[in-house]
Amino acid sequence: MSRTGFGDGSFWQCLFSPGSVAMVGASDVPGSWGFNIMQRLIQSTGLRIFPVNPSHPTVQGLPAFKSVLDIPETPDMAIIAVPALRVPSVMQDCAKKRISAALVVSGGFSETDEEGRKLESQVVAVAKESGLRFVGPNTMGHANTHARFSSLGFMGKVVPGPVGFAAQSGNMGSRIMQLCMNEGIGFSKFVCTGNEANIRLEDYLEYLAQDDETRVIVFYIEGLREARRFVRLAKETTVSKPVVVMKAGATGASIRAARSHTGVLAGSDIIYTAAFRQTGVIRADNEDELADVVAALVKQPLPKGPRVAILTMGGGFGVVSAEACEREGLQMATLSDSTLSRLDGILPARWPHGNPVDMAGMDTMGEQVVLNCLSALIEDEGVDCVLSLVALHRFAPMMPGAAYMPSQRGNTDARAENLKAVAEKARSLGKPVLSVGAMPPSLGEKTAVETPWEGFSIYPSPQRAARVLHHLFWYKRYRDNVRQ
């Protein structure tokens, strides 16, 4: 018996790992939904595709069927991209065919006007009667990277990884996914939830909570339709799996905009804030912050406490970063005498003997000096996490800007090993190490994803890194309190 409330787990299997798909509205016209989605389906691995098109015998080289009813078997799912007025009858055909999962791409339903709302309730009625469940309408599609399956006709490639993501907006979903991928993070499942006439955000939460391929759950939310259920599920989930949300629509115009977007009521922001806080849900204020914290949840351990050590190569940057950390509720660690002695042995006498640890220009003397300082800070028992303003990524071979100083060239294998050893030390002690580029890194998607090892978290500014540490520490404390 599944926990999902949909009879059994095979529904989710059909939806996210279909072996066969009916593509209703399949097209040969480049740029159309029916064309683009077909392209994605063809790229998916091991998928039997049944294009449905009443007026063409083949679509993109595959034999097409006039109706879903003409398909010689029952496909695992149907994707529907036809004008809104035709959707109810297509759904009836799907129901007759005993298809259990559908995805309705078509727009023109409750996000528009009264007529659209009526049309949507007709589609819902068909689903209710037959037991067929569907994503959307008004969705941009979904993907399961582990099954190499995607219906995302208007989005780029989804990089595989441990993040399960449901978004109440196609373009915000696409944007957030891109930002995460820029930070080297990939996805297990993605779904654009559309109008949620049938399957709702709460259902995806329930599903992703028990999905073994998903280690971190992410939502872009404009409004919840089953807030109480969300609260109950979130509370159960966050004990073992982090849930990160961005909730938009807290102000007048944005509430109105959300209504015309997916027909949702955005509701009172105060209530949402309270609900997230009480259930251990990490709330990011914007999409950059969301990507930042998700990247850290994937790559870093949770800090045991709020005490930060800062390693900087210049005074001003240390001042700004200490301020950023304190504004985020973190504390500047008091370094132990033995750590101070270790640093005395590494740095010139003029270093200011405090935290931030100002290397006073010594970072230019080569990475071993930096790594030795870093080790000293990581191993201090009074330090819970480290913020390195010396951009660690410049030491890593394959990274843009790596080894830009002559002293940092040399055997790249040995250099990568040194860096890796420090990262592994930090991980074994349960201490996150975040690095900030002195100059903002312009990492392309590809480079970030191909980063040679995982112990890496780079942020473009100390403020963004401090915000991440705030979230990690807040979540750790929440979990500790719940577990007691």
Binding interface with a copy of itself (CB under 8 A):
31, 107-108, 111-112, 167-175, 178-179, 182, 220, 222, 248-254, 256-258, 260-262, 285-288, 313-320, 322-327, 332, 350, 352, 354-356, 358, 364, 438-440, 442-444, 460-461, 463
Distance of closest approach, residue 248 Cβ to a copy of itself, in angstroms: 5
Under 8 Å between Cβ of 56 and 67 = no
Tokens of residue 196, six digits: 């949620």
Distance of closest approach, residue 457 Cβ to a copy of itself, in angstroms: 18
Distance of closest approach, residue 290 Cβ to a copy of itself, in angstroms: 11
Give the residue with the Cβ less far from a copy of itself, 111 or 206: 111
Question: Exposed, middle or buried: residue 117 (CB in 10 Å: 0-12, 13-18, 19+)?
Answer: middle
Q: Which single residue is written with the structure tokens 């807030």?
A: 227
Give the residue with the Cβ less far from a copy of itself, 171 or 338: 171
Q: Which single residue is written with the structure tokens 């196609």?
A: 170
Tell me if residue 53 falls in helix, strand or coil: coil
Nearest to 21 by CA among 139, 151, 166: 151
Residue 284's DSSP bridge partners are 246
Distance of closest approach, residue 173 Cβ to a copy of itself, in angstroms: 7
Distance of closest approach, residue 366 Cβ to a copy of itself, in angstroms: 12
Q: β-strands 149-150, 142-144: how paired?
A: antiparallel
Give the residue with the Cβ less far from a copy of itself, 422 or 443: 443
Give the residue with the Cβ less far from a copy of itself, 172 or 426: 172
Query: What φ, ψ does residue 319 adopt, rounded to 5°?
Result: -60, -50
Tell me how far apart the alpha carbons of residues 1 and 49 are, in angstroms, rounded to a whole number.
Answer: 30
Alpha carbon distances (Å) from 38 to 85, 149, 230, 295: 22, 12, 34, 32
269, HSE (Cβ side, Cα atoms, 13 Å): 11
Tell me how far apart the alpha carbons of residues 433 and 374 are, in angstroms, rounded to a whole number.
Answer: 9
Tell me how far apart the alpha carbons of residues 238 and 203 are, in angstroms, rounded to a whole number.
Answer: 16
Give the residue with the Cβ less far from a copy of itself, 3 or 353: 353
* Residues sharing a CB contact under 8 Å with residue 158, sequence separation 6 or more, in sequence order: 143, 145, 150, 152, 177, 186, 187, 190
Distance of closest approach, residue 321 Cβ to a copy of itself, in angstroms: 8
Distance of closest approach, residue 297 Cβ to a copy of itself, in angstroms: 20
Give the residue with the Cβ less far from a copy of itself, 68 or 386: 386
Distance of closest approach, residue 72 Cβ to a copy of itself, in angstroms: 35
Give the residue with the Cβ less far from a copy of itself, 95 or 191: 191
Q: β-strands 77-80, 101-104: how paired?
A: parallel
Buried b / exposed e over 263-290, threshold 16 CB at 10 Å, is bbebbeeeebeebbeebbbbbbeebbbb
Give the residue with the Cβ less far from a copy of itself, 114 or 212: 114
Distance of closest approach, residue 259 Cβ to a copy of itself, in angstroms: 9
223, HSE (Cβ side, Cα atoms, 13 Å): 21
* Residues sharing a CB contact under 8 Å with residue 240, sequence separation 6 or more, in sequence order: none
Give the residue with the Cβ less far from a copy of itself, 125 or 271: 271
Give the residue with the Cβ less far from a copy of itself, 405 or 482: 405
Distance of closest approach, residue 345 Cβ to a copy of itself, in angstroms: 19
